[in-house]
Structure 1
Amino acid sequence: MTEAIFAEAGKPAGVIGTINHHFQDHVWKTEMTTPDPVSFQERLKQFKDLGAKAVALEVSSHALDQARVDEVPFDVAVFTNLSRDHLDYHKDMNEYFKAKSKLFSDLLTRSTKP
């Protein structure tokens, strides 16, 4: 849906998510929702080189907890759900919520974008 909104606004967008990473007719398989920081930056460069003007990201709670996107300047963020899916990693709902909240409390607020 976010990709379609960008397209309607005239901003072709790359997508990084659980199913794959893609931009227009270029598709890359992925093994995790949010890649490690180096792979992530490499993918962003590929998108830019191919003409992307925006990127829609699915950022996992694991990635937030592990600082995989700490250097990404976010313009907008959406919180989609908080379920019991990742308690094997986060141990309890409070820790899970803290990890997800980092996107809003830390990363979005310090974005350098005007």
Structure 2
Amino acid sequence: MTKLYFQVNVPTRNAVQPERCGTHVFTGAAETEMEALRIAREACDAAVAAREAGCAIPRRRPDGWGARGVRSGWVLDWAAATVAVWEHDRTFRAFRAQEVGPSR
């Protein structure tokens, strides 16, 4: 089966200040939505374990998934996570690279 690029959106809230909430977004390749959710959770669990051990949060995995933005004190609601094929426009990458490039 061909791997697609997925976006996994996980609602998150601050454990101390529950009114502070948002969505943590994970992206990467997977064969199915269920696999994308599983891999996103694995990447997140690895990041949390590293942080709790006092280590640096791992960079993106070889398969493209990562969880660099996971923060202490925030709770992710995996039961409410949504998964969708990520419809990205590759021209955005080129535009963004030009936008943040050196000034002329």
TM-score (norm 1): 0.21
TM-score (norm 2): 0.23
Between the two structures, name the one with larger relative contact order (CA 8 Å, sep ≥ 6): 2
